[in-house]
Amino acid sequence: MRIETLNIFFSIAETGSISQTARKHYISQPAVTSQLQALEEELSKKLFTRNAGQRKPLVLTEAGEVFKGYAKKLLDTYQEMESALSRLDANFGGLVVGTGPTIGTYIFPFLVESFRKDYPHIPVSTRMVLGSALHRGLYEREFDMIITSNLPKGEDYVSHAILDDQLVLIASAGYKVDGVITVNRLKRIPLVIREDDSSVNGRLNKHLAKHGLSLKDFNVVRQVLGNEALKQAVNAGTGLGFVARSSLLGRNSGNNYRVIQVKGLQVERHIFLIYPASRPVTASMECFTKFVLFKRWLEGTPLAQPLA
């Protein structure tokens, strides 16, 4: 029984979906199904009920509920073992991680606090800079690693996809607009956008190009700096705006916003942990990478919850 398979099991239990689990772990749906089948064969028990031909979530069986409890203990024990073994290495030094404003505000705090609890012997410092300065800072050795949605140019880096954080279009709760609109309809609605060099605008323009469009073709009524400023403008009724999904989760989300679907415009956005391939990987970097990819730090955080 592999640790990776246990993580797959927990993702299916959390989402009730093979496809969502596949996206979360960056593997194919057949690979997820194969791992689940292998696990059920190993245990000689069905762990989920399946509703053939119906778009309903998978539900844990009685055996699945029992297994879930023990599997959690196994994963917790594994994480404790990793942490205990790492303490035997006396060569741990400090770790400096760089992030952009969006990730640094809404995602990284959950990650770094969880890491510090499990690895208190590894000092971690963080710096939040504008996305355009992250790659430069990495190669100028200002950071050991960076967490960003934008991959560097060239090939001299190692990247690990750690999270999906798609862009969503939001409106204030009282704004009069349908829940599902077309791109042509969006072009006529007042739009609030981020600063020019933001990764949000870059990703939006990349996807709009598939429709032969750019943000310049829309009814932009205001340009702001940062997600919070954009959310405030949207909440005031200025118009609609695109933000990272993570910025709508947690204590600041409330019921102030509605997510509006745009037909044919699903803006995927992946978060990566990145470090230079040509630079030696320190013990602290290796430990941090394993911790991030283990994904246990997501449990109990708003990031693991679907948008309402």
CA gap 132, 219 in Å, rounded: 26
- Those residues of the chain that have pLDDT short of 50 are 252, 254
Task: Count Cβ neighbours within 10 Å for each residue of 236-263 and write b for 16 or more, e otherwise.
Answer: eebbbbbbbbbbbbeeeeeeebbebebe
Torsion angles phi and psi, residue 19, rounded to 5:
-65, -45
pTM of the prediction? 0.71
What order do you get walking across the sheet with 270-275 strand by strand?
A: 124-128, 95-99, 145-148, 270-275, 158-164
What are the pLDDT digits (tens) for 180-235? 999 999 999 999 999 888 888 888 998 899 889 999 999 999 999 988 899 999 99
Residues linked to residue 95 through DSSP beta bridges, in sequence order: 124
Q: Residue 78: its pLDDT value, please?
A: 81
User: Rounded to 5 degrees, what angle do the CA atoms 161, 164, 168 make?
Assistant: 145
Q: Residue 255: its pLDDT value, please?
A: 59
Alpha carbon distances (Å) from 90 to 85, 121, 168, 237, 249: 11, 10, 45, 56, 39
What are the pLDDT digits (tens) for 46-77? 988 876 655 678 889 999 899 888 888 888 78
For the chain, the distance separating the N- and C-terminal CA atoms, rounded to the nearest angstrom, is 35
Q: Residue 288: its pLDDT value, please?
A: 93
User: Rounded to 5 degrees, what angle do the CA atoms 150, 152, 154 make?
Assistant: 145
